[in-house]
Amino acid sequence: MAGATARSRQAVLRVRQLCEAELKDNCTLEVIDIYQQPDLARDNQIVATPTLIKEFPRPVRRFIGNLAGITGLFGELDLGTKGKIAV
């Protein structure tokens, strides 16, 4: 997330909707604000915002942009039974 911009808020809202509707309690969502947490942004190699990083199950996948196509995103994430994603 890049501060409190409308684009950042929309991306986080879309991912939260995905987690709630499709993954129930099988997802951990971590939101990283690149301005407030620059070390985490650097550690996670976030170079553009918004970036969605799916860490588990492997392989790690990255999605960059406004995440407007959230319905197709679920299939691409391939989260299986337990997942961890960061925005």
Give the pLDDT confidence of 7-27 residue by residue, as tens digits.
778 878 888 887 787 777 678
Torsion of CA 82, 11, 35, 6, to 10 degrees: -160
Give the pLDDT confidence of 33-72 residue by residue, as tens digits.
888 999 999 999 998 888 888 888 888 888 887 666 655 6
pLDDT at position 51 is 85
Domain 6-86 fold: Glutaredoxin (3.40.30)
* CA end-to-end span of the chain: 6
Report whether pLDDT(6) > 70: yes
pLDDT at position 21 is 78
Confidence of residue 3 (pLDDT cuts 50, 70, 90): low
Q: Please name the helix (run of DSSP H) or strand (run of DSSP E) that holds residue 13, with its range, or none.
A: helix 6-18
Question: In whole angstroms, how far apart are CA 56 and each of 5, 11, 36?
Answer: 28, 20, 25
pLDDT at position 81 is 46
